[in-house]
Structure 1
């Protein structure tokens, strides 16, 4: 049972060696933190102590007192999450104790059933509305800060396994990731053990855009069995990871993997997949996608990285460069677009290049945002690649690349919608605390108008996303690529524009706090820097909108469109 203290108890702890403070009726012993407190200057503790820049003095001024107002003036809740386990000693005896919400029930096993005559025998017969009954309300219940089904509204797409996975991932993110995201972003790297946990928790295996590859990994997702796993579970994984409010974090954990591994699984030879995939799914090896070149991005058909077949026909010799490659700095494998034939789309192939083959060099690129994603410039010099590492067929790699784009773009959409929600949620919370001209920001109509415009764009984009994922789940992959490519391209542009709008409006609401790294506006500042990393990669907004209309018109002509 947690210890309780009176305000008088706390007031007795004011000396240098025993200072206690109160934050939101919780009591913290900050005696061991005095020398680490940054004060007004975010510089190394050793230099701060030598220059006596006041971190310790700030804590001494509020020792024995309620420091809530001072704390929230400069910090966000991530700081509390980071240090709570080390510094919390109890609560005030006046604090109301709230009962914890019951944990989601474990998923019930799916009983074997005999299909009724009315049920289709096709593969899509198992795909349908998960449940129309509402789930229990979950989270902070700020309107529009989470999808409506989190907040007690009915949904045809989500059942108890989705609710259990949501809770599982959220708890992991809030305890192991969110408190440290700022320092990882500033250090431009996420610790390797976090990526390893992605493998051990079964999350990597759940991010391939298809069935859970149970035969290639012993790791399982706790909340849902492989036979019940669907595309909405995958959506939830990416969505909950994105709540940490860092594109760099998400790209570090699922970026290169999420776009580099699916082509291997779907088009690679069985022997290659069996050899390579288990190490990747375990989090021991890393893979990335290498398509973009220094002078070629969205125009994939013009790529020039060259692969020539040796005279004995056993190897390709690869020479060329790739640029802006996510995770490339850490990658063991590169799913690489190469030119094996004539100019244009019919001369492209895809090879799995292994770093240990030699001739592969990588250097980190400094970019505006997604700092911890490991953006890389890659050079291939006479790299010897076995022909068995060909993914798909020679000179038919364009199909492999185009098929992969749908999965990549949907991942971008999921992240953009959640980042938009993070900007909105942070703004709502701040608007209820910050006072200007004698009243809270939330009481100013102009601020409510900003929040309303953010919410309407978020909800419109999210509901389109849900529909697209449901269509993907109901269609065979080739059909989905044909029918949905245009819609997914349009949704990608919609989501990145929504993200940019919400980041800007959140920045206006936070004012100067969103211009400083870290602190209360830290998430908004970080996400604002990440905006361009979503509007351009995976197809720029202009290319996406044009592709959306061209492809949709072409497909509907095939359906018999009448004009």
Structure 2
């Protein structure tokens, strides 16, 4: 059902408004077309990527390029590209599930795929002129050409706009001469096209350009970088020495490069979250299968409580990541549809829609990238000594997962980013934080109710807990903004703590809403394990919120204010009926064991 502006929450509004389960999209809502695409991608992965893991680990860059060409022939590189330019023109959720299921075989191929389809192609489809799109996008969509994104420099990482690469206009005004150095450029070794960023004269902001990769045009490459993980992903330095770019290859307007970079990263962040999901599914499946086969003291280690804890947590975090990622993906898709209906072009609609949910994109990037690392780490532990060996897949999964917390903006940057953006939205009037924060303050001054609540309905206590956790965020963020004002961006430790509260609320709420929706339509009996996972995830969320809330309050409040806020924190993080986490973990693990795989 199409959503209206009234029905669809704006980005960040989840923290001040209640979302109904009927209004969230879940993986169980995939259309038949999307299910077919999912199966096609899984089949490709199982045929071309998984059997060649050892070659990828041996730095077979040619294999990565070959697999990319095969992905292009099957249309996977052009899923999000409009049909006009040789792509499949599929919706945003379909682009996400493609990224999800194609990314689990090895981080090397996943990185090449993501760099090409995302930051290598997308800036042209979203910012290019019609001539630029007609010239370049069809080649990129089919895999005839591969793209790379040349932004990072030795002195410009998180501070992307500080790059020193220069663009100098020729005397005849027909071209720019590029000079500078870029580093950590994915796909550099086999790409035919760079999206390169440089500064014109003393401009405040950098400018984007489309550059064809011609070694006779002053372009030289460094040697392949030897990396901890993603070993067969081509990663090189790129040097520009009087490299000529025709003036018509400027991407968007002069000085618009920083905006291109930031908006490209927003899309990259949510797609990176998707790219971590199937890795978690496969690691969990591999872990439980090994645990069922491996015997110690004449007992499969899967029967030991210590291993059950790991299996339960791995499955739960995977399920939560799926729930939140596809919730946000559909919100973006619906916002795109609304903007198109309002008269926006395809480019404007997608740009504005993703920008609207930049907070959720950062939340997902942080949460899912950290969960895939935990999942791989526990996978190694389940395998024991064998997990540390290159003969098993766990150590490669762990190494590949490590980069996800760094690229598309480090997790520290994204943590501060999501809270900072929320505060800016509040100042612009897009999200009302002041009203709800004031209401929470008033609530603390009132006498709490001692009535026994009715928790007879599924998730009634859990949903009330989510509402209380939102009050914690409003309590902390409201007081912090009042104290520090526009200087709050300098309080990085406080922002990190507040962001963990915000992140965990979104993830826990998404998990509960997905499960509630499916329980209502499929029956609670079919969702027993999912209900257990939702409760387990929320239990951890309460602990994280309490810890970070306490740390935050103590850091800036004193005396009576501090005592009042800490009292509120205790009130808002207290269960009426604590869940039996030991029993819940056991239930989840037994389900995974019985199915011998991640099965949700």
Task: Report the TM range for the smaller structure's normalisation.
Answer: 0.5 to 0.7
The alignment status of 1:561 with 2:433, answered yes or no, reads yes
SS at match of 2:176: strand
Contact persistence 1:256–1:328 (CA under 8 A): no
Match of 2:540 in 1: none
Alignment of 1:204-243 (within 5 A): 204-206=77-79, 208=80, 212-217=81-86, 226=89, 229-243=90-104
Match of 1:544 in 2: 414
How much does 1:164 deviate? 1.1
How much does 1:119 deviate? 9.2
- Segments of 5+ residues of structure 1 without an aligned counterpart are 1-114, 125-131, 133-146, 150-154, 221-225
Contact persistence 1:279–1:285 (CA under 8 A): yes
1:359 counterpart (218, 224, 232): 218
Contact persistence 1:335–1:350 (CA under 8 A): yes
Match of 1:532 in 2: 402
Match of 1:202 in 2: 75
Q: CA 1:331–1:313 in 2, change beyond 3 Å: closer, same or farther?
A: same
Contact persistence 2:78–2:117 (CA under 8 A): no
- For the residues of structure 1 that align with 2:253 and 2:91, how far apart are their CA atoms? 29
How much does 1:251 deviate? 1.5
How much does 1:461 deviate? 2.0
Q: CA 1:551–1:195 in 2, change beyond 3 Å: closer, same or farther?
A: same
The alignment status of 1:326 with 2:179, answered yes or no, reads no
Match of 1:288 in 2: 148
Match of 2:376 in 1: 503
Match of 1:439 in 2: 299
How much does 1:198 deviate? 1.5
How much does 1:420 deviate? 2.1
Q: CA 1:484–1:121 in 2, change beyond 3 Å: closer, same or farther?
A: closer
Contact persistence 2:64–2:232 (CA under 8 A): no
The alignment status of 1:340 with 2:200, answered yes or no, reads yes
Contact persistence 1:252–1:372 (CA under 8 A): no
Question: 1:191-239 CA deviation, whole Å, 9 max, x = no partner?
Answer: 5432222222111111x4xxx421222x75xxxxx4xx21121112112
- For the residues of structure 1 that align with 2:141 and 2:370, how far apart are their CA atoms? 33
Match of 1:168 in 2: 40
- For the residues of structure 2 that align with 1:251 and 1:347, how far apart are their CA atoms? 28
Question: 1:292-328 CA deviation, whole Å, 9 max, x = no partner?
Answer: 1112111112111111111221111000011101101
- For the residues of structure 2 that align with 1:550 and 1:440, how far apart are their CA atoms? 49
The alignment status of 1:158 with 2:30, answered yes or no, reads yes
Contact persistence 1:329–1:376 (CA under 8 A): yes
2:237 counterpart (377, 399, 403): 377
- For the residues of structure 2 that align with 1:429 and 1:367, how far apart are their CA atoms? 30
- For the residues of structure 2 that align with 1:431 and 1:172, how far apart are their CA atoms? 28
Contact persistence 1:487–1:548 (CA under 8 A): yes
- For the residues of structure 2 that align with 1:396 and 1:318, how far apart are their CA atoms? 17
1:188 counterpart (38, 43, 60): 60
SS at match of 2:77: coil
How much does 1:532 deviate? 2.4
Contact persistence 2:126–2:351 (CA under 8 A): no
Alignment of 1:107-146 (within 5 A): none
Match of 2:359 in 1: 486
Choose 1 or 2 for highest CA Rg. Answer: 1
Name which of structure 1's ranges 286-295 and 549-558 shifts more when overlaid on structure 2: 549-558
How much does 1:341 deviate? 4.1
How much does 1:283 deviate? 1.2
The alignment status of 1:516 with 2:389, answered yes or no, reads yes
Question: 1:351-390 CA deviation, whole Å, 9 max, x = no partner?
Answer: 1111126111112111111011101111111001001000
TM-score (norm 2): 0.64
Contact persistence 1:188–1:374 (CA under 8 A): no
Q: CA 1:378–1:257 in 2, change beyond 3 Å: closer, same or farther?
A: farther
- For the residues of structure 1 that align with 2:201 and 2:191, how far apart are their CA atoms? 27
1:469 counterpart (318, 322, 329): 329
Greater RCO (Cα-Cα under 8 Å, separation 6 or more): 2
Runs of 4+ in 1 over 6 A off after TM superposition: 118-122
Contact persistence 1:341–1:348 (CA under 8 A): no
Match of 2:342 in 1: none
- For the residues of structure 1 that align with 2:316 and 2:184, how far apart are their CA atoms? 33
Q: CA 1:176–1:473 in 2, change beyond 3 Å: closer, same or farther?
A: same
Contact persistence 1:487–1:552 (CA under 8 A): no
Q: CA 1:262–1:550 in 2, change beyond 3 Å: closer, same or farther?
A: same
- For the residues of structure 1 that align with 2:26 and 2:84, how far apart are their CA atoms? 35
Contact persistence 2:293–2:300 (CA under 8 A): yes
